[in-house]
Amino acid sequence: MEIRPILSALLRNKTGPILVAMQVALSLAILANALYIVNERRAVIARPSGLADEHSTFYVRARNLDTDGHEQRRATFKHEADLLRAVPGVASVAQVSQMPLSQSGWNTSITVDQRQERPSTSASMYLSADSIVHTFGLRLVEGRDFLPAERVELDRKDQAEPPPQIILTRALAEKLWPGVSAIGKSVYFGKQEVARAPQVIGVVEHLQTQSAQIDETGEFSIVMPLQQYGDSSTMFAVRTEPGQRDRVMKEAESVLRKSSATPMILEMRTVDQDRKDRYRGDVALQWMLVTVSLLMLLITCCGIVGMASLWVTQRRKQIGVRRALGARKIDILRYFIVENVMITSGGVFGGVALGLALNQLLVSKLEMARLPAGYLAGGALLFWLIGVIAAYGPAWKAASISPATATRSV
Amino acid sequence: MFGYYFTLGLRSLRRNRALTALMVLTLAVGVAASISTLTILHAMSGDPIPEKSRRLLVPHLDNGQVDGWAPGEKPDDVQMTYQDAVNLLKSGQGERRTVLFGTEMPLEPPRKDMPAFSSAGMAPTRDFFAMFNVRFLHGQPWTEADDARGADVVVLGRAMAEKLFGDANPVGRQIRLMNVPFTVAGVVDYWNPRPRYYKLIGGDTFGGADDFYIPFASAIRHEAGINGGMNCTTKREPGFAGLLASECTWLQFWFETRSSADRADLQSWLDRYAGEQRKLGRLKRNVPTHLYDVMEWMEELKIVGNDNKLSVWLAFGFLALCLVNTIGLLLAKFSVRASEIGVRRALGASRREIFSQFLIETGVIGLAGGLLGLALSFGALALIGMQSTEVAAMARMDWEMLGMTFVLSVAAALLAGLLPTWRACQVTPAIQLKSQ
C-alpha cells in the first residue's frame, strides 16, 4: 500500500489538508448534535396526549353575560351541555376544567403520606362531573371510571373538599408507588387536614397535562369527579364522529347562541390548534437545525472538492511524470482517493472529539441530553462516504491527465 | 493607497469568478445564519426601557411554607400576595409604585351591531402609565381619587379604541365591562413592548398589546377574572375575599426610584417591612428580601429560552465552518497570483504593502458577502416570522443589527484572509521572476 509516500507528501504541505480536516471536524460535531436534537424533539412531539381522537376533539368556552345566581347558572350550563349532545355527529360531551396541551390550567402538589415533609410531586388537575374518560377516550389500564353517584357538583362559594375517589395516569401511579398497583391507595393534596383521603379507583394509560412538559411530569395528571359551579363561564370538551368536527363546531356555535336570551361569548378551539401552538417552537428549531445541517454538508462538500481540485492542478506535472514512469490511471485515482480518505479520517477523529465536547457544553449550559454514540458513529460513516464521493471527481480529472501534455514543459 | 487597493480588490472580484462567487456565497450564508438568530436573541434580551431600567424595581418577599423547605432553595413563586401589595402601595416608598395583574373579562361595545367579546387587559394603579413611559393619544390616566375609591374608569389601548369607536375621541364615552358601565378616561397610543417586561409571569411574554387598563381597586371590587399565574401553598377560604386574605401569590409589584442610588434605601426599607411581617407570624422562611431591576428580572425569569441560545451557538458554529472554508478558497485564489506578487516585490513593494493590498482585497470580499448576507438575513427572518405574529415581532432587524451584519461579515473575511495574505507575503520575487 502507498500510504507512507502519501502521508509524507501531506506532511510537507500541511495547510490545505488541515483546513479540510477542520471543516469535516466542525461539520461532524455540529451535525451529530443537531440531528440528535431534531430526533429528540420529534419524539417529544410524537408523545400521545391520551386523547383517543385528537382530530375530532374540540372545546368551547361559553360565557353568559347574565346576572344569574349560581344555581341558575348551573342549570344553564347543564342545558347547554344537553344542546351540544343533541347536535348530530357529536360522540361525547363533558364539562371540563382544562384541556391537555392548552397551556392553561391548575396544578396541585401530591403527597402519599401526610407525615412526609416534602410533597411527592406536583400534578395537573382535571375536574369534571361528567366522564372525561369517555369524552377524551382515555384508556383505563386498571380499575374503573367514576360511577354516577360518585360525581359531585359544588357551589363555588363553599369550601371544596377533595372527592373520595380519583383517577390518575400510569406515569403518576408509577412515580408515587413504584412497582405496585395504585388501586385503593390514598393520596393527599398538600398538608391540609381531610376527613377522608381520596382513593385511587382507576389508572389511565396516558393523559398529558395542560403544559405537556418534556420530562416525565408532562404525564402527571389526576382526574377528579368534582365540578364547581357559579362562575359565568364554563368549558365543554366535545368529541365528534371522525371527520365531522368542523361541521359540528359550526352547528354547536349556532345552537348555543340561539339558546341564550342574554349576549354570550363563545371561544372555540380544536385540540389540533393547541397542539400546533404548544410545539411551534420545537418545530421551528427542527427546521432551523435541518437547514443549517444541510447547508453545512453542502459547504463541506464544496470545500473538499475545491481543495482536491486545487491540488490536482498544482500537481499536474508530477502526475504527468508518474504516468510517464508507468503509473496507471487507477494508481493516480487511488492516490488521490486514499489521500482524501486520510484527510477525512483526521477530520472525523477530530469531529468525534469536538462533537463530544460540544455536547458536554450543551449539557452543562443549556440542559440538553447526552449524545448517544450512535449519532457520532453514523456521522463519521457519512463523512467518510462524502470524502470519497467528493474526491472522486477531482481524482478522476487527475487520472485523465495525459502524460505527454503534462510533462511537455518540464 | 487604500482607495487604490480598494479598486484593485473590486476588480479582483471579477477574476476567478466561480471561486469568488463561492467565497462570497459561503460568507453570506454563514453571516445570514448568525445574524438572523442573533437578531431574535437581541430582540428578546434587549433592554426594553434603557432610560430607567435600573430605577424600575420588582420587590420579592418569600412567603413559602417552612415545611419541606431547605434553606437556599429557590422560592415557589416570585409574585406577591394581595396583603403585601396593599401595604407596599401605602408605604409611599420610591418615587412611584404600582401593582398590577392581568385580567380577562367580557366587553360589550357601545355599538349595537358589534357582539360582546372577551377582552384581555391590565389592572394597575395610576402610576403605571408614568412608570413605564406610556404615551397617551387621547385623555389621560385616571386620578389618584379614582384609584382610592376604585372608580369604574377605563383607559383603552389604541387598537381597541379604534375597534370600538373608530377614529373618534372616545374620552367620556362608556363601554360595559363585566356587566358594569365604565367611562373611558383616555386612550394609550400604540404601546406594546416586547418582551412585555412589566408582566412576565402567566401571560404571553411576546404577545400583543393590552386591550384596556382599569384601576386595580376597581378590578378587585368587581372581582375581575384573573388572567395569569397563581401560587397557593396554604389552604384558603373560598371566594374572592378568601383569595385577598390568603397567602396566595398572584400580583406583580413595581417600584420606581428617583435615582439608581436609592435602591439601597428601598432595600433596607423592604427588609424592615419583612421583619415587621415576621413579627406578625408571616414570612416564616426568614430569607433575605430581593429587589430586581428590569434586566435582572428578565434574567431571573429566563425570558431568553435555551432553544434561542442553542440556535445562536449553532449558527456561530456554522459561521466558523464557513470561515475555514473561505480560508481554503482564499489560499487557492491567492496562490495563482504568486507571479504578480513577485513582480510587485521586484519593483520595490514592501511585504507590508503586499499585506495591506491582499487584506483590503479580502475586506472587499467581506463587504460583498455582507451585502448578500443582509439580503439572505431578511429572507431568513421573513421565513422565521411566518411561524406566528409573536415571533414575527421579534424577527425584525434594527439599525444595530444592520451594522452588525457588515461588521461581522468584514471581520470574518479579514480573519479568514490573514493566513492566505501572510502566505502571499512570503513569495520570494527571485523564484517567481525566474520562472516567467
Site from B304, B321, B415, B435 to mutate, A interface, most A CB atoms within 10 angstroms: B321
pLDDT at A320: 87
Percent of chain B with pLDDT over 70: 100
Domain match, A187 and A319 both? no
Give the number of other CB atoms < 10 A from CB of residue A48.
14
| Residues ≥6 apart with Cβ < 8 Å to A261 | none
Q: How far is CA B264 from the centre of its chain?
A: 27
- CB–CB contact B306 A20 (8 Å): no
- CB–CB contact B118 A288 (8 Å): no
Residue B217 pLDDT class (50, 70, 90 cuts): very high
β-strand pairing of A199-204 with A165-169: parallel
List beta partners, residue B122: B102, B213
Cβ of A288 under 8 Å from any chain B Cβ?
Answer: yes
Give the pLDDT mean for A237-259: 94
For chain B, give every domain's residue range. 2-47+305-434, 62-288
Q: Average the pLDDT over each of A225-229, A343-347, B16-20, B251-255 and give the range with the smallest value.
A: B16-20
Report whether pLDDT(B167) > 70: yes
Residue A59 is assigned to a structural domain of this protein: no
Domain, as residue range, for A160? 66-262
Is residue A333 within 8 A of residue A322, CB to CB? The reply is no
Cβ of A302 under 8 Å from any chain B Cβ?
Answer: yes
Cell of B286: 426568614
Is residue A58 within 8 A of residue A135, CB to CB? The reply is no
Report whether pLDDT(B164) > 90: yes
Give the pLDDT mean for B324-339: 86
Report whether pLDDT(B81) > 70: yes
Of all helices (H) and strands (E), which one includes residue B157? strand B153-157
Q: What is the pLDDT of residues B101-151, one digit of tens each?
A: 999 999 999 888 888 899 999 999 999 999 999 999 999 999 999 999 999
Angle at alpha carbon of residue B161, lines to B155 and B163, rounded to 5° = 150
What is the SS3 assignment for B22-72?
HHHHHHHHHHHHHHHHHHHHHHHHCCCCCCCCCCEEEEECCCCCCCCCCCC
β-strand pairing of A199-204 with A140-143: antiparallel
Cβ of A26 under 8 Å from any chain B Cβ?
Answer: yes
Residue A193 pLDDT class (50, 70, 90 cuts): low
- Please report, for residues A113, A166, A188, A197, B74, the alpha-carbon distance to residue A191 in angstroms, rounded to integers and kept in the order given: 10, 18, 7, 11, 20
Q: What is the pLDDT of residues A77-126, one digit of tens each?
A: 999 999 999 999 999 999 999 999 998 888 888 888 877 777 778 899 99
A vs B, Cβ pairs < 8 A, gives 125
- CB–CB contact B331 A16 (8 Å): yes
Residue A79 is assigned to a structural domain of this protein: yes
- From chain A, the residues in CB contact with B115 under 8 A are 263
Report whether pLDDT(B435) > 80: no
Give the number of other CB atoms < 10 A from CB of residue A135.
23
Rg of chain A (C-alpha set): 33
Report whether pLDDT(A145) > 90: yes
- From chain B, the residues in CB contact with A159 under 8 A are 237-238
* Nearest-CA distance B424 → chain A (Å): 14
Report whether pLDDT(A22) > 80: yes
- CB–CB contact A265 B67 (8 Å): no
What is the chain B residue with the closest CA to A301?
B325
- From chain A, the residues in CB contact with B328 under 8 A are 16, 19-20, 23, 303, 306-307
Angle at alpha carbon of residue B294, lines to B144 and B313, rounded to 5° = 155
pLDDT at A192: 61
Helix A280-314 × helix B17-45 angle, to 10°:
150
Closest CA to A377 of A340, A339, A349, A343: A349
- CB–CB contact B116 A362 (8 Å): no
Report whether pLDDT(A232) > 90: no
Domain match, A254 and A292 both? no
- CB–CB contact A292 B22 (8 Å): no
Residue A409 pLDDT class (50, 70, 90 cuts): low
Cell of A307: 481543495
Cβ of A192 under 8 Å from any chain B Cβ?
Answer: yes
* Nearest-CA distance A388 → chain B (Å): 18
Which residue in A19, A63, A362 is closest to B327 by CB distance?
A19
ipTM of the complex: 0.85
Is residue B319 within 8 A of residue B31, CB to CB? The reply is yes
Residue A338 is assigned to a structural domain of this protein: yes
Report whether pLDDT(A195) > 70: no
Cell of A143: 380499575
| Residues ≥6 apart with Cβ < 8 Å to B32 | B373, B374, B376, B377, B379, B380
- CB–CB contact B118 A63 (8 Å): yes
Domain match, A15 and A137 both? no
Q: What is the pLDDT of residues B25-76, one digit of tens each?
A: 999 999 999 998 888 888 888 888 999 999 999 999 998 887 777 888 888 8
Higher pLDDT: A64 or A141? It is: A141
What phi-psi label fits residue A190: left (phi over 0), alpha (psi between -120 and 50 degrees) or beta? Answer: left
Report whether pLDDT(A155) > 90: no
In the three-class reduction of DSSP (H, G, I as helix; E, B as strand; rest coil), residue B292 is classed as strand
**Distance from first CA to last CA of chain A, Å, rounded?**
28
Q: Of A232, A262, A292, which closes a domain?
A: A262
Which residue in A119, A280, A366 is closest to B309 by CB distance?
A366
Which residue in A27, A37, A265 is closest to B106 by CB distance?
A265
Cβ of A158 under 8 Å from any chain B Cβ?
Answer: yes
Closest CA to A100 of A272, A281, A283, A286: A272
**B349 burial type by CB count under 10 A (0-12 exposed, 13-18 middle, 19+ buried):** middle
Cell of A155: 357551589
Residue B221 pLDDT class (50, 70, 90 cuts): very high
- From chain A, the residues in CB contact with B419 under 8 A are 15
Report whether pLDDT(B366) > 80: yes
Cell of B350: 514592501
- CB–CB contact B317 A26 (8 Å): yes
pLDDT at A366: 85
Angle at alpha carbon of residue A286, lines to B27 and B193, rounded to 5° = 80
What is the chain A residue with the closest CA to B326?
A303
Higher pLDDT: B419 or B431? It is: B419
pLDDT at B427: 82
Task: Report the alpha-carbon distance of residue B322 to residue B416 in Å, rounded.
Answer: 9
* Nearest-CA distance B143 → chain A (Å): 29
Give the pLDDT mean for B327-348: 86
Q: What mean pLDDT, rounded, does chain B reach?
A: 90
Report whether pLDDT(A34) > 80: yes
Cβ of A366 under 8 Å from any chain B Cβ?
Answer: yes
Angle at alpha carbon of residue B234, lines to B231 and B239, rounded to 5° = 75
Give the pLDDT mean for B244-253: 93
Q: Does the N-terminal peptide bond of residue B195 adopt cis geometry, omega within 30 degrees of 0?
A: yes
Cell of A49: 396526549
- CB–CB contact B305 A37 (8 Å): no
HSE-up of residue B316 (Cα within 13 Å, Cβ side): 9
- CB–CB contact A280 B388 (8 Å): yes
Domain match, A16 and A81 both? no
Give the pLDDT mean for B310-329: 90
In the three-class reduction of DSSP (H, G, I as helix; E, B as strand; rest coil), residue B285 is classed as coil
Higher pLDDT: A300 or B234? It is: A300
Domain match, A19 and A115 both? no
Task: Report the alpha-carbon distance of residue A359 to residue A372 in Å, rounded.
Answer: 10
- From chain A, the residues in CB contact with B120 under 8 A are none
| Residues ≥6 apart with Cβ < 8 Å to A250 | none
Residue A202 is assigned to a structural domain of this protein: yes
Cβ of A365 under 8 Å from any chain B Cβ?
Answer: yes
Cβ of B172 under 8 Å from any chain A Cβ?
Answer: no
Q: What mean pLDDT, rounded, does chain A reach?
A: 89
- Please report, for residues A7, A229, B200, the alpha-carbon distance to residue B229 in angstroms, rounded to integers and kept in the order given: 65, 21, 10
- From chain A, the residues in CB contact with B307 under 8 A are 281-282, 285
Query: Which residues, numbered 402 to 421 in chain B, qualify as contacts with chain A under a Cβ-Cβ cut-off of 8 Å?
Result: 419
User: Residue-wise over B52-70: b if at least 16 C-beta within 10 A, else e?
Assistant: ebbbbbbbbbbbbeeeebe
Give the pLDDT mean for A184-189: 89
Domain match, A28 and A79 both? no
Is residue A282 within 8 A of residue A41, CB to CB? The reply is yes
pLDDT at A1: 55
- Report which residue type is found at A3: I
- CB–CB contact B318 A264 (8 Å): no
Domain match, A241 and A121 both? yes
Q: What is the pLDDT of residues B279-289, one digit of tens each?
A: 998 888 888 89
Task: Report the alpha-carbon distance of residue B277 to residue B150 in Å, rounded.
Answer: 26
Residue A296 pLDDT class (50, 70, 90 cuts): very high
Residue A236 pLDDT class (50, 70, 90 cuts): very high
Domain match, A35 and A92 both? no
- CB–CB contact B238 A160 (8 Å): yes
Q: What is the pLDDT of residues B301-317, one digit of tens each?
A: 988 888 888 888 988 99
Report whether pLDDT(A346) > 90: yes
pLDDT at B187: 96
Task: Report the alpha-carbon distance of residue B257 to residue B269 in Å, rounded.
Answer: 13
Give the pLDDT mean for B384-413: 85
Domain match, A152 and A294 both? no
Domain count, chain A: 2
What phi-psi label fits residue B128: left (phi over 0), alpha (psi between -120 and 50 degrees) or beta? Answer: alpha
Residue A271 is assigned to a structural domain of this protein: no
* Nearest-CA distance B268 → chain A (Å): 32
Domain match, A291 and A233 both? no
Is residue B137 within 8 A of residue B73, CB to CB? The reply is no
Query: Which residues, numbered 307 to 326 in chain A, qualify as contacts with chain B under a Cβ-Cβ cut-off of 8 Å?
Result: 307, 310, 314
Site from B29, B324, B329, B394 to mutate, A interface, most A CB atoms within 10 angstroms: B324
